[in-house]
Amino acid sequence: MKRNITLMYIISCLMWGRFFIPVLALFYIASQVPLEQFAIIMGVFSLAILVLEIPSGVVADLIGRKNTLLVSRFLYLIELFMIAFYDGFWIFLIAKIISGFAVSLSSGADEALLYDSLKKMKREKEHKTVSGRLYTYCNISMAFTFIVGAFLFGIHYKLPAIVSLPVVGIGFILTFFLKEPYKSSKCFSLKNSYQHMKEGFNYFWDHSYIKYLVFYSVPIAAAIAIMLSISSAYFEEILFPVALMGVVAFIGSMIAAFSSKKAHNLEEKFGEKKSLFFIQAATVLGIFLMALMINYVGVLFFFIISFVSGFFGVVVNHYMNVHIETSHRATMLSIKNFFSNFAIFLLFPAVGYVAKVKSMGTSFLYFGIVILIFVVALQLYSTKLRIKQIE
């Protein structure tokens, strides 16, 4: 189990070795996919995640987290091959659908494997610290990946995807060396899958705190995903040099790494209620400030989203994990991701459409208002619940 933790640190860093991420929107545009089509693809990407999100959690609970992750990472390699050597809307759409399936398979399985490995060693109380360390390492890895990725993009627009193939390939190979912490007491079959999914929904519905955290995550996860994905196009709009985008992405990842590393200390200092409120307030503030579209200086507002992404990932996942039984862990995490990706599916194409017909600033303004309304509605909803405090 101790080796699992070390391997997950290494594998997670390698799986983020996708060098086209810092210039994602520009990479798509250069590959003959204009911004409005990019937004459509990202919306379909979220839909693809939705299709398998909850079933994949059920599969992970039944066939094991390791086997689920192996399938997921193989699909990532297929996606990389397609976008590295081909251009055009349809190729990129199919590749992103495959990527969506890969994300859905790994989204609950990797977090469940991490927590259950700690639980097997009777070290689950260290989850916030270990999870924070994992996010930190990933963000540091991403930071250096972003620097290299922007440089490679400057040489040739396909180089970032080509160089990503061997890096992700090594991550796939190392996944074979993980060990399953707990074997399922149920055999994998359609009947057991259906029964486990049914039990999972009942478990979700009967646990108010888990239900609250799932709905809490929806606007925040959607906002972070959309703002990070469209960031390179935003930088171009505010006249920031393409050659320096890798530096900005590097700084953003280091900020996320810092907030991940300090999440444990900050959460204990602020407490649950203030931590959750801070995440909401900072997210909304970051979107509204980016909507101002201030040339050059607007880059600083992007860093607010970077900080929130690191803190949010550690804190909310920890709150979820400590309240979920092992037998339902992957399913519950997948339900959380399901709702978040449903919001991305609805909102991302809308953000891209408004940016095309009006302006990116207007699009961000409308988007911020939508997120703010959702946050206020959630606050009103939470006052009706007796939310159990995390010890």
- Residue 316 belongs to some domain of the structure: yes
Q: Which domain holds residue 53?
A: 2-382
pLDDT digits (tens, 9 = 90+) for 283-330: 999 999 999 999 999 999 999 999 999 899 888 878 877 777 766 666
- Residue 61 belongs to some domain of the structure: yes
- Residue 390 belongs to some domain of the structure: no
Mean pLDDT (whole number) for 69-75: 91
- Residue 389 belongs to some domain of the structure: no
What long-range pairs does 34-37 form, CB within 8 A, spacing at least 24?
35/233, 35/352, 35/355, 35/356, 36/352, 36/353, 36/355, 36/356, 37/89
The whole-number pLDDT of residue 59 equals 67
- Residue 198 belongs to some domain of the structure: yes
- Residue 231 belongs to some domain of the structure: yes
Ranked by mean pLDDT, the top range of 53-57, 168-172, 346-350 is 168-172
pLDDT digits (tens, 9 = 90+) for 145-180: 878 888 898 899 999 999 999 999 999 999 999 988
Q: Is 80 exceeded by the pLDDT of residue 17? A: yes
Overall domain count for the chain:
1
Helix axes of 109-120 and 329-357: crossing angle, nearest 10 degrees: 150
DSSP state of 20: T
Place of tokens 């505010």: 238
**Polymer length of the chain:** 391
Identify which of 220, 216, 225, 214 has the alpha carbon closest to the alpha carbon of residue 348.
Answer: 225
The whole-number pLDDT of residue 390 equals 40
d(CA 337, CA 282): 21
Q: What is the mean pLDDT of the chain?
A: 84
| Weakest-pLDDT range from 13-17, 49-53, 245-249 | 49-53
Q: Is 60 exceeded by the pLDDT of residue 391? A: no
- Residue 246 belongs to some domain of the structure: yes
- Residue 162 belongs to some domain of the structure: yes
Q: Is 80 exceeded by the pLDDT of residue 32? A: yes
The whole-number pLDDT of residue 388 equals 46
d(CA 314, CA 137): 13
Exposed, middle or buried, 243 (CB in 10 Å: 0-12/13-18/19+)? Answer: exposed
Q: Is 80 exceeded by the pLDDT of residue 121? A: yes
Dihedral angle of Cα 234, 239, 242, 248, to the nearest 10 degrees: -60
Give the CATH number for residue 180. 1.20.1250.20
* CA distances to 149, 231, 285, 371 from 248, in Å: 12, 10, 19, 25
